[in-house]
Amino acid sequence: MANSTLTTLDLNDNSIGDNGAVALSEALKTNSTLTTLYLGANSIGANGAVALSEALKTNSTLTTLDLWDNSIEDNGAVALSEALKTNSTLTTLYLGCDSIGDNGAVALSEALKTNSTLTTLNLNDNSIGDNEAVALSEVLKTNSTLTTLDLGANSIGANGAQALSEALKTNSTLTTLNLNDNSIGDNGAVVLSEALRTNSTLTSLDLGDNSIGDNGAVALSEALKTNSTLTTLDLNDNSIGDNGAQALSEVLKTNSTLTTLNLRHNSIGDNGAQALSEVLKTNSTLTTLDLEGNSIGDNGTVALSEALKTNSTLTTLKLEANSIGANGAVAFSEALKTNSTLTTLNLNDNSIRDNGAVALSEALKTNSTLTTLNLRGNSIWFKGLQAMFEALKSNSTLTTLDLLNDSIGNDGAKAMFEALKSNSTLTTLDLLDDPIGANGAVALSEALRTNSTLTTLKLEGNSVGDNGAVALSEALKTNSTLTSLDLGDNSIGDNGAVALSEALKTNSTLTTLDLWDNSIGDNGAVALSEALKTNSTLNTLDLEGNSIGANGAVALSEALKTNSTLTTLYLGANSIGANGAVALSEALKTNSTLTTLDLEGNSIGDNGAVALTEALKTNSTLTTLKLEGNSIGDNGAQALSKACNTNSIVTIIGVRGL
């Protein structure tokens, strides 16, 4: 690798195969700048892994290697293990979804006995069972550098959990352990609880989706009475009911270190919620409580609301997808009138309807701490929306309001946008899939002409069409605060793109414009290109999933030759082909500001990859190049690897970046 600036190369989700991996390995033997290499989802087998292993024996700069979702199997894992015995720079190794079984896991365990630099090992979604967990556990008893171990989505049962528990009793460096989506059950939870009583370094434990019931929750609760280091406990997607919730509640009355408790998607009802509410009245450390997807109704919500009136530490409460109705929302509104710490409340996908929204609106008029309120999917209609928007006229702290899928429609949109004319705090408004239509966009454009605080506006999936885009464009000519505008999936064609382009010629604040999944063709791309020649503030332009061909790419390339502010350009899932890639490569030879270019899914093939390679030899600013899904074969991969010999700053996200 002659390139002297490229530090990150992302080739995820291509088809480089073993031959491409071999070519990259040869480059790694001499390259002295690349620190991060992403090769996920590339059909690399054991032979490719063997080649990379040989490179790791001499390479002295690579710190992160991602081989997620390949097929290296046990033979590849064994080869990498041999390299780890002598390599002294690699700190992070991702081997998830690689068909690694007994032999591979055992070999990696042996390597960890002598390796002194690896801190993160990801073996998620392989075929690791209890025997392999036992082998890894043995090495954890002596290894002193590994801090993060991901064994999620394997086949570890209670016996494997028992072995890991024994290791945790003596290990003094591991801080994060992920066992999500295994089968440890209550018995596994019980033995891990034993370890937590003495372990003094683990801070995060993920036991989600493990068939843990109330008995397991009770055991973990007992451990938390003495454990003084665990700050995050994830028990999502288990079978914990009210009894388990009550046990956890008891320990939270005395535990002083746990800050995050995830109980989403269990079987907790009103009784469990009432128990948790009692502890919230006295607990002074828990900041995040996630109860999404349980069976909590209005009674449980009323109890939690009472706790919020006195609790002074909880900042985030998630109750999405429960059975909360208007009465529950009324109770929350009373709590919000006095609570002074909660900043995020998620009530998405409940049934608070108009009456609940009206009650919450009253609270918003006086509450001075809530910054994020999620109410999407609550069957809120015009009455509730109108009340909410009235509250926005006087509320002075709410910055994010999510009303996605709440049937705002044209009338609701008009009421909302009237409120925006006087609101002085809301900075983010998310109206995803609401659909306000062209008329709503016209009303919004009027508000944007006077509103002076909104910085982020998300309108994806709103059917604003060309007419709506034209109206918004007019507002952008005078608005001086909006920095991010998302118009993805809005049926905007070339006419809308032309109007937006005109606005960009004079607008001096917008930095991000998302136009993904519209119907913009070459004419629209040409218009946007003209705007980019003079615009001096836009740094991100997303045109993914449109109908831009080679001609549009050529026009954009011309703009890139003179534009000095755009840093990120998304052109994925268009039809630019090899010719478009050639034009863009010419622009990259002189452009000095673009850092991220996404060309995934454009059929550029080996010819396009080779052209881009030429640009990389001289370009010194591009750090991320996404080439996923471009039918790049061995020839293209080999050319890119040679370019990496000279470029040392580009992060070739040859495809999708992980």
Say which DSSP state 594 is in.
Answer: -
431: helix, strand or coil:
coil
pLDDT at 360 over 90: yes
Q: Can you read off the two tokens belonging to residue 228?
A: 């003084």
Choose among 298, 364, 297: nearest CA to 334: 364
Please give the Cα distance from 237 to 180 (Å, whole number). 9
DSSP secondary structure string for all residues of 362-413: HHHTT--S--EEE-TTS---HHHHHHHHHHHTT-SS--EEE-TTS--HHHHH
Please give the Cα distance from 273 to 276 (Å, whole number). 5
Instruction: Determine the distance from the C-alpha atom of residue 149 to the mean position of all C-alpha atoms in its chain, rounded to a whole number.
Output: 20
pLDDT at residue 620, as a whole number: 83
pLDDT at 302 over 80: yes
Reduced 3-state DSSP string for 286-348: CCEEECCCCCCCHHHHHHHHHHHCCCCCCCEEECCCCCCCHHHHHHHHHHHCCCCCCCEEECC
pLDDT at residue 551, as a whole number: 97
Q: Can you read off the two tokens belonging to residue 465?
A: 């069409």
How many alpha carbons lie under 13 Å from residue 406 in its C-beta half-sphere? Answer: 33
Q: Which residues contact 168 (CB under 8 A, 6 or more apart)?
A: 140, 174, 177, 192, 195, 196, 199, 202
Region 601-612: mean pLDDT is: 91
Say which DSSP state 617 is in.
Answer: T
Measured CA to CA in angstroms, residue 625 lies from 60, 440, 599 at distances of: 24, 37, 8
Please give the Cα distance from 365 to 355 (Å, whole number). 16
Roughly what angle, to the nearest 10 degrees, separates helices 185-196 and 214-224?
A: 0
What confidence category does residue 1 fall into, taking pLDDT thresholds of 50, 70 and 90?
very low
Region 299-304: mean pLDDT is: 98
Q: What are the residue ranges spanned by the domains of the chain? A: 240-407
Whether the CA torsion 129, 135, 141, 144 is positive or negative: it is: negative
| Token pair 């991901």 in the structure block, residue | 150
pLDDT at 654 over 60: no
Q: Can you read off the two tokens belonging to residue 284?
A: 């002074």
Q: Comparing 92-101, 205-214, 373-382, 475-484, which segment has the lowest mean pLDDT?
A: 373-382
Q: Can you read off the two tokens belonging to residue 518?
A: 């519209």
Query: 205-227 pLDDT, tens per residue?
Result: 999 999 999 999 999 999 999 99
DSSP secondary structure string for all residues of 119-135: -EEE--SS---HHHHHH
Contact by Cβ (8 Å): 136, 110:
no
pLDDT at residue 385, as a whole number: 85
Region 572-580: mean pLDDT is: 95
What confidence category does residue 656 fall into, taking pLDDT thresholds of 50, 70 and 90?
very low
Contact by Cβ (8 Å): 247, 275:
no
Containing 150, the helix (H) or strand (E) segment is strand 148-150
pLDDT at residue 655, as a whole number: 35
| Helix residue ranges per DSSP H, 547-588 | 550-560, 577-588
Choose among 456, 468, 454, 533: nearest CA to 496: 468
Contact by Cβ (8 Å): 598, 571:
yes
Class for the domain spanning 240-407: alpha beta
Q: Which residues contact 34 (CB under 8 A, 6 or more apart)?
A: 1, 6, 7, 8, 9, 28, 61, 62, 644, 648
Contact by Cβ (8 Å): 359, 388:
no
For residues 513 and 412, which has the higher predicted lDDT (pLDDT)?
513
Please give the Cα distance from 312 to 485 (Å, whole number). 36
Residue 41 region, left (φ>0) first, then alpha (ψ -120 to 50), else beta? left
- The single-letter code of the amino acid at 475 is A
Choose among 310, 261, 307: nearest CA to 286: 261
597: helix, strand or coil:
strand
Query: 459-498 pLDDT, tens per residue?
Result: 999 999 999 999 999 999 999 999 999 999 999 999 999 9
pLDDT at 82 over 50: yes
Query: 404-416 pLDDT, tens per residue?
Result: 655 566 676 777 7
Contact by Cβ (8 Å): 535, 500:
no
Detail the DSSP E strand segments found in 3-111. Answer: 8-10, 36-38, 64-66, 92-94
Please give the Cα distance from 536 to 643 (Å, whole number). 31
* pTM of the predicted model as reported, rounded to 2 decimal places: 0.78
pLDDT at 657 over 50: no
Contact by Cβ (8 Å): 8, 623:
yes
Detail the DSSP E strand segments found in 477-546. Answer: 484-486, 512-514, 540-542
What confidence category does residue 119 fall into, taking pLDDT thresholds of 50, 70 and 90?
very high
Region 422-435: mean pLDDT is: 78
Please give the Cα distance from 529 to 497 (Å, whole number). 11
Please give the Cα distance from 176 to 203 (Å, whole number). 6
Please give the Cα distance from 353 to 355 (Å, whole number). 6
Q: Can you read off the two tokens belonging to residue 542?
A: 């997303």
Q: Mean pLDDT for the chain? A: 93
Instruction: Determine the distance from the C-alpha atom of residue 2 to the mean position of all C-alpha atoms in its chain, rounded to a whole number.
Output: 33
pLDDT at 658 over 50: no
Contact by Cβ (8 Å): 606, 637:
no
Q: Give the burial class of 512: count Cβ atoms within 10 A of its Cβ; 0-12 exposed, 13-18 middle, 19 or more buried.
A: middle
Region 593-614: mean pLDDT is: 92
- The single-letter code of the amino acid at 216 is G
Query: 429-446 pLDDT, tens per residue?
Result: 887 776 788 988 898 899
First to last CA, the chain: 22
Q: Measure the CA dihedral 618/624/629/634, to 10°.
A: 40
570: helix, strand or coil:
strand
| Helix residue ranges per DSSP H, 404-493 | 409-420, 437-448, 465-476
